[in-house]
Structure 1
């Protein structure tokens, strides 16, 4: 297993909510805004702001089957991107509470 894949998996495993993002992405901003509005404690990794961001993004493709950002995990479950998150908006408070992220 690659170092980046181990690092990405550790971030997913160690956080109730993990959001892999890029600082300039409007969809990422919308997802982070929604989660912040709900009061979620989350670990946000800005892939464009870290040295190994490209390697982490490639590792996320292996882990989740998704290369695009945002790439969101709640309680180690892959949620998907912004449209997936918005689609489950009504269930989010319960999911976040169950994950211990509120």
Structure 2
């Protein structure tokens, strides 16, 4: 269990678990940058010693161990492609507005 990851997800409207060199992570972060999000935290796992444990936690709670894992209002919306798809069909903006992140 990753209590750090859990705490971040509970404490912030938008949380992105990322790796600095991952193209899908860059994609998700670039999509999110289009919005003026009031409460966003980006955690770069490649800068952390507990990255493997956190990815094991993601596998348990989201069904995927891969990054990015993007959480909005405590719910995982998926990874880079999922974030881009939600943006392109207008659902990302709706999710961000619904939790008062924008």
TM-score normalised according to structure 1 size: 0.89
Separation of aligned partners in 2, 1:46 and 1:71 = 11
Partner of 2:70: 72
* Large movers: runs of 4+ above 3 Å: none
> Could you tell me which residue of structure 1 aligns to residue 80 of structure 2?
82
1:10 maps to which of 7, 11, 24: 7
TM-score by length of 2: 0.89
The 3-state SS of whatever aligns with 1:20 is strand
Identify the residue that residue 47 of structure 1 maps to in structure 2.
45
Deviation for aligned residue 1:58:
1.3
Structure 1 unaligned segments of length 5 or more: list them.
none
Which residue is equivalent to 1:29?
26
Q: Which moved more, 1:44-53 or 1:33-42?
A: 33-42
Q: How many residues align?
A: 99
Distance 1:96 1:29 in 2: 19
Cα distance in 1, alignment partners of residues 64 and 36 from structure 2: 26
Shift in Å at residue 69 of structure 1?
0.6
Cα RMSD for the two superposed structures? 1.2
